[in-house]
Structure formats: structure tokens, C-alpha cells
């Protein structure tokens, strides 16, 4: 039997095929099926930047799940608005699944003057300097108000160059906070994923994995990777750790990464990814192509180039517009540039992951 019920009613994880450590499956949720491996576009502030829901739902992107940021949505529009409108799905007119992070990563990376203690984090908003406090219970309450389909536990993610003592303290807190997150009230039908930290020390990672997987989470994430460490260490940890996460639950690599990172992650046994790279790179002029290096659209080589970004791409941008036009829009700071570029890069990521999934299904062993 390859269909695994998950602890939260309505959720199950179906394994279809494996190829080495790589897996192809379906995460069944009350709001729809998510074919895995999957890339989740990041909708930081209630919008995947520059995109409409219709564009995200339609092929060639066909995003089955998007991510929302608890930190950003808590600060703006805030919980009063979110409560009044009935949650993030209604607010953003998005009817497919949403995964929310816990806010922890942003508190540590974006907020001013964060002050961590064993109970939680006090921080000042990067928008207006106002003072706030996040604890596991508060994070879960916010995620309940957002009404996401998958909530993440509140964790402490130390920087890539943190010393051993910092790592150990963060690990202890993350385990304690994981237990408190799981015990806190959450929205009806909301799955909760645990997060494994531990940096690039394999023994520490495995020790923390044992602590987190002993709890009854619907899925498991690897956090604290691609946060400044050497990419070789990232890949080593992935190879050593990912396939040891429980096989009957989805595995999520948080905040990663490049198209190559996704290949490596899938080969190591990861099922879910999110990253701002396709959307942010698009806005900054970097466009992905099937063959060759990324296109830097402002480059003078594109000035008179009548061809599309990528002749192999089926997106509306590539079917309609030339590199010359896109370069012009970029240099003129036109809003249309961000739309066309984001549509293309998200199409690239969606097709990249679907192609890998198709190979696992074609060449792998039935699960």
C-alpha cells in the first residue's frame, strides 16, 4: 500500500515511484492534490509578486500550492483584516492549497533588533519599527488566522557560520518550540510540518531529526540550509540526511534554490521546495533558459535580438515577445517587464520540476 494517511484528517501522501532516493508522489489535501516533487511559488504578502491567481493556476505554470509569509502578513495587512476577510485564501482569491512559514526565518533575517529567549522572540517591524513578539503559540495562532493548509512550526534558524554553542541552543529551542507548536490550537484541517535544523554537522542533523520525527507531524522540513554555508556542504547534508526522513510523509527543503539545487534535492529524496529565486531573479533581469546560462536581459547582446528568451519555452512571454522588447521594458522600468519575466521564470521552474517528476515516473520503480 503506497497511500499513507497523515495525522491531520483529509491529508494523505501517495508514493507512486522511486528512482534511487528520488520520489514521485501526490500529497492529497482537502483543497486539492499536489503532485510531488513540487516547487511552490512564494507569495510573500498575499501575492506571488506581479502574478494573478489565474496565471498561476493556468498551464504552463499550474501551481498546485503557493507559499505565504506569516511575518509579512502578520505585520501587513494584520490579523484584524485577515479575520474580517476570513483568511488568506479568500483575501487573495486563491482556492488551492497554501503553506505558511512560521515567521521565524524573517524575524531573524528582516526584523530590526530581534531579541531571542527560550520562550520566543521580541522584534521590531522592518516597516514601521513597531514592537512585536512571536512565540510558538503566537505563530500558530497567526497561521490559524491565515487559514493555511500547511502550517510550519516556529523554529530558530542560526546563520551558516554560527558556532557550536549557538547551534546547540537553537536546536534545543527548536525541539521545545516544535512540541509547543504541535500542542497549540491550529485551524481545523490544517496540517503541521516539523523542521529539522542542525547546520552542516551530520551528527547534529541526525540527532535533531530523531527528536523532530519522534513527534507526530504531517511532514518534515529541512531548515537552515543555503543560509551562507558552502554549497558543497549543502549538497552533502542533503545526500546524508534527506533520505533518512520518514519515507511515508512529505519532505520539504525550505527556501532552496537554483534549478540545480532542486535536482540535487530531488535526487536526495526531497518532495517540496520553495524559493524567491524565480520571481526575484525575474524582476532583477535574470531569466532561466533550458540550454545554457541564465540570460541577463539588460545585456547589450539582447538589444537587437528578435528571438524569445527561450525558444523551448511555451510561456506567453516567449510565444509573444522578443528579448529586444523585454530588454527595453526592463531598462524603461516598465511594470509589464516584471509580469512577463516572472511568468517566464515560474514557467521554467514548474516545467523543470515536472520534467524531473516525469523521469522518476518513467524510469523509477513503482512504489
Using the Cα atoms of residue 243, residue 12, residue 25 and residue 27 in order, give the sign of their dihedral.
negative
Q: Which of 197, 216, 194 is nearest to 207 (CA)?
A: 197
Q: With binding defined as CB under 8 A, does residue 80 bind its own copies?
A: yes
Q: With binding defined as CB under 8 A, does residue 93 bind its own copies?
A: yes
Consecutive H or E run containing 16: strand 12-19
| Active-site residue (options: 149, 218, 271, 274) | 274
| 101 is known as an active-site residue | yes
Contact 234, 200 (CB under 8 A): yes
Q: With binding defined as CB under 8 A, does residue 112 bind its own copies?
A: no
Which span sits near its own copies by CB under 8 A: 86-94, 110-118, 143-151, 265-273?
86-94
- Considering only 25, 37, 41, 46, the residue that binds its own copies (CB under 8 A) is 46
Q: With binding defined as CB under 8 A, does residue 159 bind its own copies?
A: no
Q: Which of 262, 268, 288 is nearest to 354 (CA)?
A: 262
Among positions 303-322, residues that touch its own copies (CB under 8 A) are: 303-304, 306, 316, 320-322
Q: With binding defined as CB under 8 A, does residue 91 bind its own copies?
A: yes
The size of the interface with its own copies (CB under 8 A), counted in residues, is 38
| 363 is known as an active-site residue | no
Residue with cell 526565518: 105
- Considering only 20, 30, 53, 189, the residue that binds its own copies (CB under 8 A) is 53
Which burial class, exposed, middle or buried, applies to 316 when counting CB atoms under 10 A from its CB (0-12, 13-18, 19+)? Answer: middle
Q: With binding defined as CB under 8 A, does residue 79 bind its own copies?
A: no
- Considering only 79, 81, 214, 355, the residue that binds its own copies (CB under 8 A) is 81
Cell of 9: 484528517
Q: With binding defined as CB under 8 A, does residue 325 bind its own copies?
A: yes
Consecutive H or E run containing 222: strand 219-222
The DSSP secondary structure of 258-311, one letter per residue, reads -HHHHHHHHHHT--EEE-SHHHHHHHTTEE--SSSSPEETTSGGGTT--S-S-T
Cell of 13: 501522501
Which span sits near its own copies by CB under 8 A: 85-93, 114-122, 129-137, 240-248?
85-93
| Active-site residue (options: 101, 155, 218, 271) | 101
Q: Would you say 39 or 325 has its CB closer to its own copies? A: 325
Q: With binding defined as CB under 8 A, does residue 338 bind its own copies?
A: yes
Q: With binding defined as CB under 8 A, does residue 76 bind its own copies?
A: yes
Q: With binding defined as CB under 8 A, does residue 85 bind its own copies?
A: yes
DSSP, collapsed to helix, strand or coil, labels residue 242 as helix
Cell of 210: 530523531
- Report the catalytic residues: 101, 274
List of residues contacting its own copies (CB under 8 A):
45-47, 49-54, 76-77, 80-81, 84-85, 91-93, 303-304, 306, 316, 320-322, 324-325, 327-329, 331-332, 334-336, 338-340
Amino acid at each position: 500500500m503506497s497511500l499513507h494517511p497523515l495525522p491531520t484528517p483529509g491529508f494523505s501522501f501517495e508514493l507512486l515511484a522511486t528512482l534511487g532516493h528520488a520520489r514521485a508522489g501526490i500529497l492529497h489535501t482537502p483543497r486539492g492534490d499536489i503532485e510531488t516533487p513540487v516547487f511552490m511559488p512564494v507569495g510573500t504578502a498575499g501575492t506571488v509578486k506581479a502574478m494573478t491567481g489565474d496565471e498561476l493556476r493556468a498551464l504552463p505554470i499550474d501551481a498546485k500550492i503557493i507559499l505565504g509569509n506569516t511575518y509579512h502578513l502578520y505585520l501587513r495587512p494584520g490579523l484584524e483584516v485577515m479575520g474580517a476577510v476570513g483568511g488568506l485564501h479568500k483575501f487573495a482569491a486563491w482556492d488551492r492549497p497554501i503553506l505558511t512559514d512560521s515567521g521565524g526565518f524573517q524575524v531573524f533575517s528582516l526584523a530590526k533588533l530581534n531579541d531571542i529567549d527560550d520562550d520566543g522572540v521580541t522584534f521590531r517591524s522592518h516597516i514601521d519599527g513597531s514592537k512585536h513578539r512571536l512565540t510558538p503559540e503566537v505563530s500558530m495562532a497567526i497561521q490559524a488566522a491565515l487559514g493555511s493548509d500547511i502550517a510550519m512550526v516556529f523554529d530558530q534558524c542560526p546563520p551558516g557560520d554560527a558556532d557550536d554553542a549557538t547551534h546547540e541552543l537553537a536546536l534545543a529551542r527548536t525541539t521545545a518550540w516544535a512540541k509547543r507548536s504541535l500542542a497549540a490550537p491550529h485551524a481545523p484541517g490544517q496540517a503541521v510540518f516539523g523542521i529539522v535544523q542542525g547546520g552542516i554537522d551530520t551528527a547534529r542533523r541526525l540527532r535533531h531529526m530523531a527528536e523532530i520525527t519522534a513527534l507526530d507531524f504531517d511532514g518534515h522540513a529541512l531548515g537552515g540550509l543555503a543560509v551562507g554555508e558552502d554549497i558543497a556542504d549543502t549538497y552533502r547534508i542533503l545526500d546524508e540526511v534527506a533520505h533518512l526522513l520518514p519515507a511515508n510523509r512529505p519532505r520539504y527543503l525550505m527556501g532552496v534554490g537554483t534549478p540545480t539545487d532542486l535536482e540535487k534535492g530531488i535526487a536526495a529524496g526531497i518532495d517540496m521546495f520553495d524559493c524567491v529565486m524565480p520571481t526575484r531573479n525575474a524582476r532583477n533581469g535574470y531569466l532561466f533558459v533550458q540550454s545554457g546560462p541564465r540570460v541577463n536581459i539588460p545585456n547589450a547582446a539582447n538589444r537587437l535580438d528578435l528571438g524569445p528568451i527561450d525558444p523551448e519555452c511555451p510561456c506567453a512571454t516567449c510565444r509573444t515577445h522578443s528579448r529586444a522588447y523585454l530588454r527595453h521594458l526592463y531598462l524603461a522600468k516598465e511594470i509589464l517587464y516584471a509580469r512577463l519575466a516572472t511568468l517566464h521564470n515560474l514557467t521554467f521552474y514548474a516545467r523543470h520540476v515536472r520534467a524531473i517528476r516525469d523521469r522518476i515516473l518513467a524510469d523509477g520503480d513503482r512504489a
